[in-house]
Structure 1
């Protein structure tokens, strides 16, 4: 997380990493000794839930009068931060994104269960904060924690998340209707491209000390520059950085598409393998293919367990006894005596399969 101050303005940009909660408290405590009113300007896509909770508690308990201004994006845990402050403003083209807390664990089943219980407790805490802020019940705010929920300035003001809409310092990056296909990181980076340009940096209230801002840019984008480098050098370095980022993004998109195609081909081959030998019409198989494509291979396998496959013939029995129904084939003119000589087993089988034919041969032999 990048923290920088200019007079009584405290800028919070980037990811909230582990340990940033203590870092923020230290910085805020220093400012509280100098100022009774502090403005926290946020552009962040969230991060550590626990450190974010420390930051939220510090804001809520601060002896100073805190005001939050959302400059670009306040997503995930950064969106929860604003619930700890009574005075929240938002740029007219900024966005808030809320969702349930998430995390990953490694270990035993017990470890995963403990992590899941902890996430549920954190989610309950989020619901309580939201319900208190929106002056409603916890059940009414559950929808804001189901999936990613992007909220623009007008909606945020209407439902009571913020108190004021302020003019934006940069042009609108992406329309509200296109946000569903974007991650919080992508939206953050899009706004960073303008919020961290020299023109935006030096405008009005966002007027940082030049060396401080250069230090922020070097840290945020890992630039191979120094604070003494010219503004032109910074602009060119940022252009190159964004060009590299865009190139990497396209590469990742192509790689993702290739992997998805390979996975699709694998699943289609597995479906065909599962359907091989299944006693079903082509119409039924088409339905099974759709089940496999939409519900997964496990679901298809479960369904096919109850579908009867044709039973393979008993080859050893056929070799030994001949196949059923073929005893007379090519032997229609044989006499009883010829049967006894050439195929006594077949004659025995004929007595079982075609008793009438057997009786005719027998009577002809013994003139009955």
Structure 2
């Protein structure tokens, strides 16, 4: 009998609603005039034309499929033009988040990341994984980092295998955070040991974001004079 492989999680406890449950609710439509007449877009498709991608809600396989497809599409449209990723996520499945993260690093366009609301757990890695100098947060956003967790069940040997995998993932994630923040690995390991919540200024000092944006014309790149 095949055992079910558990999903390793990196999310806040309240993350329950899926991306599709949000997208399937009432979505505003946009009417646009063109030489061929009127065209109707849902708001997300219209914003995709402006190279805006949303990571809103728990990170899972469905979201990863949608976001990676959009990133690859935008690269094929114009590999030299920036992509803008807006993040409001409590985190989720590590493998799904890493699929998005790896695609961000893989494609040619620079990916600008911006946190609105929250970027917790896996969401914070996506925020930190934006292009250097292009990672931002709105003034009232919250950022949280912590180590991955997973539910292990079955025989003792299976539990041991799953525990070893979590340790490998933790080591890998610590290395990614260290790479993007510039912090020593030891500092990252200590910070990730428990939930660490940060406001935008703290996240900027930690190296997860580069600037705090109150409005489009007023980036706050540093609190130092």
TM-score by length of structure 1 reads: 0.44
Q: 1:8 aligns with which of 51, 61, 75?
A: 51
Name the SS of the counterpart of 1:47 in structure 2.
strand
Asked if 2 retains the 8 angstrom alpha-carbon contact of 1:71 and 1:168, the reply is no
Q: Which runs of 4+ in 1 moved over 4 A?
A: none
For 1:81 and 1:63, the matched residues in 2 are separated by 17
Aligned to 1:45: 90
Offset from partner CA, 1:259-314 (integer Å, 9 cap, x none): xxxxxxxxxxxxxxxxxxxxxxxxxxxxxxxxxxxxxxxxxxxxxxxxxxxxxxxx
Check conservation: 2:124, 2:143, Cα contact below 8 A: yes
Matches within 5 A, 1:169-188: none
d(CA) in 2 for partners of 1:134, 1:77: 15
Q: How does 1:158-197 map to 2 (within 5 A)?
A: 158-167=205-214
CA contact (8 A) 2:183 2:207 kept: no
DSSP-derived class of the 1:20 partner: helix
Q: Which residue of 1 aligns with 2:103?
A: 58
Structure 2 residues not aligned, in runs of 5+: 1-18, 24-43, 217-225
1:22 Cα offset (Å): 2.9
**Within 5 Å, which residues of 2 pair with 1:286-301?**
none
Which position in structure 2 is the counterpart of 1:22? 65
Size of the alignment, in residue pairs? 169
Bigger Rg, structure 1 or 2: 1
Could you say what secondary structure the match of 1:73 adopts? strand
Tell me how far apart the structure 2 counterparts of residues 168 and 150 of structure 1 sit (CA, whole Å): 23
CA deviation after TM superposition for structure 1 residue 168, in Å: 6.8
Is residue 2:118 matched to residue 1:73?
yes
- Classify the secondary structure of the residue corresponding to 2:97: helix
CA contact (8 A) 1:83 1:129 kept: no
Q: CA deviation at 1:83?
A: 2.8
RMSD of aligned Cα (Å): 1.8
Matches within 5 A, 1:164-313: 164-167=211-214
Match of 2:156 in 1: 109
Alpha-carbon distance in 2 for matches of 1:70, 1:83: 10
Does structure 2 conserve the Cα–Cα contact (< 8 Å) formed by 1:69 and 1:89?
yes
Runs of 5+ unmatched residues, structure 1: 170-368
The answer as to 2:74 corresponding to 1:31 is yes
Distance in 2 separating the partners of 1:168 and 1:117? 45
Instruction: Identify the match of residue 132 of structure 1 among 166, 179, 185.
Output: 179
1:93 aligns with 2:140: yes
**Counterpart Cα distance in 2 of 1:61 and 1:121:** 22
**Contact 1:93-1:168 at 8 Å conserved across structures:** no
- Partner Cα distance (1:152, 1:143) in 2: 18
Name the residue aligned to 1:232: none
Secondary structure of 1:71 counterpart: strand
Query: In the alignment, which residue of structure 2 is the partner of 1:121?
Result: 168
- The structure where helix makes up a greater share of residues is 1
Preserved contact between residue 12 and residue 40 of structure 1 (Cα < 8 Å): yes
8 Å contact kept, 2:87–2:127 = no
1:303 corresponds to: none
More strand by share: 2
Give a deviation string over 1:79-108, Cα, whole Å, max 9, x none: 111232222000011011101001112211
CA drift of 1:167 comes to: 1.3
Per the alignment, do residues 82 and 107 of structure 1 end up closer, same or farther by CA in structure 2, a change over 3 Å counting? same
CA distance in 1, matches of 2:87, 2:181: 21
The TM-score, its normalising length taken from structure 2, stands at 0.70
